[in-house]
Structures are given as C-alpha cells and as structure tokens.
Amino acid sequence: MDQLYEEVEEPVSPHGQYLNNTVICSYIFGFLELTIPFDDSLVIPLIKDVFIPINSRFSSIMIRDEDGKMRWKKVVVKPEEHVKIPKFSENSPSRGLYDNHLREYVTSILIERTSQEKPLWEIHIINYPTTNAVSTIIFKLHHSLGDGYSIMGALLSCLQRVDDPSLPLSFPSRPQLNLKYEDESLFKKICFGVNSFFSSISDFGSSIIKTRIIADDITPIRSGYRGIDSQHIILSDILFSLDQVKEIKSKLGVTINDVVCGIIFYGLRLYMDEINERTKTSNSTALVMLNTRNIKGYQSLKEMQKPESKGLWGNKISFLQIPIPKPNQSGIFNPLEFVLEAHDVLNKKKRSFSVHLIGLLMDLEMKLRGPEAVAKEIYNTIGNSSVLISNMVGPVEKMALANHPVNGLYFTTTCGPEDVNITIISYVKILRMSVKILKGFIDEDKLKFCMEKAFEAIFKASMEIFDIPIEK
C-alpha cells in the first residue's frame, strides 16, 4: 500500500515496544451498545474530525529508524481501510436476534492481528440487533497506542452526555488519601518507613521468583499450556448492581476495588471447588493491572490535544501479584473474608514501592537485552499466574455517540497466555464484568454462575452481619 510519510516523530516508549513484537501483540477492545441502528454515513466524518485529531498515534505507524530505534511515523490515514461492517447470515437468527453471530465475530477479531503497515486501530460496526443492543460499535486499538486510561479517554472524548451535550461526562469521585500518616510521631513514621522498605523488598523478590521460577498450580482455571493466546477464545459478561456493590463497600469499610476483587476471588474458588474439589486450596495468583499515573480522572478532548498533555498518553502500567485467598482450615468458604483479605493485601501492595523496582528492572533489561526479552518476561509472568484482572471507571451519566444513545459499555484486552481474563467497568448504575476464557477448557456457564453466586453470598453476608433487612 502506498503511503505518504511525514517527519519522524516521537520514539516508541519501552512499554509500547513490550506490547508489540513477536512475543506479545496486545489489543484493547471497547464495546458500545447502542439503542438505535448506527448511521454508517457518519463514521468517516467522525474518524476524520473527532477520533484522529485526539492524538498523533492514531495517524502513525511504528518504524525502525537508521539507528535501529523504534519511532512513531506519521502517515496519511485512509479511514475506510480501518472501518469494518460485517454482513451476517440471515439464516433464522433466534428470535430475530444475532447474539451468536456477534459472539462468533468478536471471537474472530480477538485473535486477529492488524496490519503493521497502517495505524494500529480498527472500528467495527455491527448493525444487527442483539439481546442488549440494536447495534454495536467495537473499537479495536493496539495496546502500544496507549493504556486503558489513554484509550478510554480517547473513546469518551468522542461521546456526549444524553441529558446535556454541552456538559462534560462526569465520573465517580476518587477516594481521598488517608492523611493520618502526616499526624503520626517521628518514631511511628520511621517504623512505618522501615516496614514499608522490607515489605517492598519482599514483594519485589516474590515477583521475580514468580516471573522466572515458580508457576501457579494447574487447576480448572489454569491449564498451564502456552500459546493459548492464538487458540479459540470466547467473551461473555456478567452485570452487577453498582448500588449493591456500594452497599457492601460501605458496610465493610473497604473500597469498590476491594469488593470487586473479593467477588472475583470467591467466584474463582467456588468454580475450582465445583470442577475439582481438591483444587480449592491450590496456590493460585491473580495478576492485577495497575495504572501508575497520579491523576484525578480523564481529561477532556481539549485538554488531551494540548502539547503539555503528552505525558498523559502512553502506557503507564504495572501489575500487582495477588494470591487468591483460600478457604479456612476447616475447608469452609467465608464470603466476607475474600473481600477483607483483598482489602488488606491491596492496601499493603499500594504502600509498597516494588512496582517501581520492577519498572527499573524492566528498563535495565530493555537496555541490555532489548524489548522482546522484556516481553518474554511479561508473557511468562502472565502465564505463571491464574487470572489477569483490569478495571476502569466509566461515566455516571448516559452518553451518546453522534446522537446514538449508548445503553451499555464494556471492554476487554488480549495480552498473553492467560486462561481467564477479567475486565470490569462501571456505567451509570451497572458494574459490568467481561470474562474472556479459553473455549473448551473453562465451563463458561458454570463460571458465570459461580461469579453471580459469589456476589449474592457476599452481599447477603454483608447485610446480615449488620442486621439490615434485604429488599426482595
């Protein structure tokens, strides 16, 4: 394909190189479920006038310069080459709905690599009704373009509030930092610092061991096979009431992230117990993706396009390795313990600077051995763990894409050899969990049932312990 090349621009960040090579080719998929059919004639103007101007990487490709370094190079974008509008078979869809067709189509694009000869993104328009939507828009963006914060900020910049398009979308307020530490005595501060130092060193050491030496046990949620990222995978989702999640959060004095992790951990243990009771006490680890930016929230389109906002783009990510809690010594599951233990572990991990040590080690290895060597370490870390988890915060208000109201919002990622990949996002009053699994190894219906059972058990237990009646 002939392209007009412009001046060489910014270098590709180390993380961008880790996520786009022969070892790892990672994508972020954003799904918008619309309440009306999408007007195809609007897509090209939206791409040209709204999407591409957000950031230069949407009109750039990766090249290797004369010095052997990877850089982003501007090219002329042909939007029609990035838009896919599939035609589904009309053979008697169930109740006039195309859920199975959409499911099969999503499976195909999850494992398909985009061309490196044009900017690394695609937009798929599914103008067929499903149970959840009249039409569906899928954004497929390479992870090297940016992390979840960058990509979500870009997508949300293309949308408007339904109630008042002149107002920006708003998001749940972030919890305030605990400032009690500032009031502590010098002695307590020193003790805290020493404890944090040794805890960080321990976390750093265990991360290295987990990456290079020790793998999780083989269980119903971890096959141990490599190369599964190119095999048949399927995506399903589970909806939870955000108000009920907030109730659990308030009653237990934890965060929403703690509640979500507790639900996932308990649901996975229930699933392991259902499939093979002997594995419910196995050594299993969750790899929780972490955004390392110190920011309050997403930026507006106008702010994103400012030259000084370049630092907000890219991949500012790391990961936390969280052991999945086990049942007590009697072999009994206590639902609330999964949330409380998640709270304790996440709090300790947040105070640790092991994330920064891992980043320094990756930078050193990048200089000595190159990006593919680091990508291999990341790939092994994911493969040695049992589940990959990432979450995003979505808007509080209903939104629309070019006057097409959005009824549902969710996302997923493709990254490596994980058998279970769980992503979570909130939208209005719904918390949506998307579960990407290896078909034929994971029982999709049973896993969904166990997750729903875990949520119900945690909600019920959190209400009962405070003697608060539950509305039926």
What residue ranges define each of the domains in the chain, with the CATH number in brackets? Answer: 7-161 (3.30.559.10), 180-396+419-464 (3.30.559.30)
Query: Could you write out the three-class secondary structure of the chain?
Result: CCCCEEEEEEECCHHHHHCECCCCECEEEEEEEECCCCCHHHHHHHHHHHHHHHCHHHHEEEEECCCCCEEEEEECCCHHHCEECCCCCCCCCHHHCCHHHHHHHHHHHHCCCCCCCCCCEEEEEECCCCCCCCEEEEEEEEHHHCCHHHHHHHHHHCCEECCCCCCCCCCCCCCCCCCHHHHCCHHHHHHHHHHHHHHHHHHHHHHHHHHHCCCCCCECCECCCCCHHHCCEEEEEEEEEHHHHHHHHHHHCCCHHHHHHHHHHHHHHHHHHHHCHHHHHCCCEEEEEEECCCCCCCCCHHHHCCHHHHHHCCCCEEEEEEECCCCCCCCCCCHHHHHHHHHHHHHHHHHCCHHHHHHHHHHHHHHHHCHHHHHHHHHHHHHHCCEEEEEECCCCCCEEECCEEEEEEEEEEECCCCCEEEEEEEECCEEEEEEEEEECCECHHHHHHHHHHHHHHHHHHHHHCCCCCCCC
Between 43 and 214, where is the model more confident? 43
| pLDDT classification of 236: cutoffs 50, 70, 90 | very high
Which pLDDT tens digit goes with each residue over 377-402?
888 888 899 999 998 888 889 999 99
The pTM (predicted TM-score) of the whole model is 0.88
| pLDDT classification of 102: cutoffs 50, 70, 90 | very high
Question: Has residue 191 got a pLDDT over 50?
Answer: yes
Q: Please state the rounded mean pLDDT for residues 312-332.
A: 74
Which pLDDT tens digit goes with each residue over 244-282?
999 999 999 999 999 999 999 999 999 999 999 888 889
